[in-house]
Structure 1
Amino acid sequence: MCHALSAEELARLAAIMARQRIEAGTTFIEEGAPADELFNLTGGTVKVFKLLADGRCQVTGFMMAGDFLGLSRGGTYAYSATAITPVTFCRFQRTQLRGLVDELPKIERQMLGLAMNELMAAQDQMVLLGRKTARERIASFLLALSARAVRRGQPANPVGLPMTRGDIADYLGLTTETVSRSLTQLKGEGLISLKGNHAATILDTGALAAIAGIEDGDGPSGFDHIT
């Protein structure tokens, strides 16, 4: 959110924020709680999820450094957020940030862009869950993580997988066993290599893209949007 601001504007933003570090497993946004704060992640990985009526968990995204959490259409949070790894973030009081937005149009434009990303993420998730096979979902997921890293100036490989297989399953609408089996199959075909449970290296991007149904020049986008 800060990259388009001047030094003076950044100083004003810094004056209303608090820096915080939390440990893995800490839930810092509760679905249905008053949406009094917003969070700009500066390090670590967070899973965003909703609890269904039957108690199941639907992971709707994995957020990383640079992502913004806490945007809400109403007065309560629409989802919960839990740190997968140790996480650092800048925390803003909604009322203070709203006051600054009124004075600094650049921040308002950035917030609008984040809201648009939410809509795009929801659309991508619908396609991922509604039209793709398990194998296609796994391929899309790995490519999206890799593409996201590149867009943020990081290496395309290895692809970090700090989340559990269960978290991936809840995000992709699969079972944990299907996620593990699909990754093992892709490894057996020489398309990826696995380093434990928390990293994968894409060995054949073209073949993986073909499985995912991504044409040349396209890029999997769903993972790069705020949820």
Structure 2
Amino acid sequence: MLVDTGTFERSPHACHHGRSGEGCADCKVRLISVCSVLALAELEELEALSHHLTLDKGQTLFGQGEPAGSVYNVIDGALRLTRLLPDGRRQVMGFALPGDFLGLALQERYSVSAEALGPVETCRFGREDFAEVMAAKPHLLKSLHERAGYELNLAQEQMLLLGRRTAEEKVVAFLLSLRDRYARTGHSSVTVELPMGRQDMADHLGLTIETVSRMLSRLDRAHAILLVPGGVRLLDVPRLERMAAS
């Protein structure tokens, strides 16, 4: 979906990088990443091409318009994916979570910026090196195609989200989508973590921050959700699912 960073090359204090300490075989997101199809020997080959990269909150992995020279596997944390519109407005295109692979688009430059919402760990590969691995391993290419299909589905859901749904339905659908994405990483829970702020949610959903706050408060008062520090608890999931399907 996205790609590299001229950012850490340009700003050496923006992140920390080196060989991964635990190795690809022990990676915490291996089973949900595109790398899951690789055998141990193949993982060792891939690991030789990788660099572990960490960022602190607010730091940029790569910027919109920068040369797309790397691809990244998100190991831990969350990133905000934004695009600056010609009139200066910001559109939040989405959020990258553990297991997501960034930088696989064919464009020569990044179409979005990726900013850390908190501490983030990624595994970085040079784009040309990774392309050679893909060419030699059809099963990895197949896995990437499946991931591309999943991301296309997310994009279609986002189009629907910004279309005919009411503000309340948009917020509910967003919360349920996050729940489902966390479930893919093995973190199934009625409490949905919200690493992004309400302004980020508003910019993603095409709403104002006041509207997002009002919808969350309304759902809380209706006992459909419970606002908790750092997230929301889904109290009435069947009701929320009916609202999202409206």
TM-based fold match above 0.5: yes
Match of residue 12 from structure 1: 45
Kept in 1, the 8 Å contact 2:225–2:232? The answer is: yes
Task: Please give the alpha-carbon distance, in whole angstroms, between the structure 2 residues aligned to 1:100 and 1:150.
Answer: 29
Kept in 1, the 8 Å contact 2:99–2:185? The answer is: no
- Matching residue within 180, 205, 208 for 1:172: 205
Matched to 2:38, the amino acid is L
Match of residue 234 from structure 2: 202
Specify the SS of the correspondent of 1:138.
Answer: helix
Match of residue 224 from structure 1: none
Matched to 1:50, the amino acid is R
Give 1:152 shift.
2.3
Match of residue 27 from structure 1: 60
Specify the SS of the correspondent of 2:233.
Answer: strand
- CA RMSD, 1 decimal: 1.2
Kept in 2, the 8 Å contact 1:147–1:156? The answer is: no
- Matching residue within 104, 111, 115 for 1:78: 111
Task: Please give the alpha-carbon distance, in whole angstroms, between the structure 1 residues aligned to 2:184 and 2:133.
Answer: 29
Q: Does 1:147 align with 2:180?
A: yes
Deviates more, 1:149-158 or 1:12-21: 149-158
Match of residue 151 from structure 2: 118
Task: Please give the alpha-carbon distance, in whole angstroms, between the structure 2 residues aligned to 1:144 and 1:28.
Answer: 24
Task: Please give the alpha-carbon distance, in whole angstroms, between the structure 2 residues aligned to 1:149 and 1:41.
Answer: 13
Matched to 1:74, the amino acid is Q
Matched to 2:209, the amino acid is T
Match of residue 94 from structure 2: 61
- Matching residue within 171, 194, 199 for 1:161: 194
Q: Which runs of 5+ in 1 are unaligned?
A: 215-227
Give 1:58 shift.
0.7
Give 1:108 shift.
1.1
Matched to 2:236, the amino acid is D
Count of residues in correspondence between the two structures? 213
Give 1:143 shift.
1.1
Q: Does 1:39 align with 2:72?
A: yes
Task: Please give the alpha-carbon distance, in whole angstroms, between the structure 2 residues aligned to 1:132 and 1:170.
Answer: 16
Match of residue 126 from structure 2: 93
Match of residue 2 from structure 1: 35
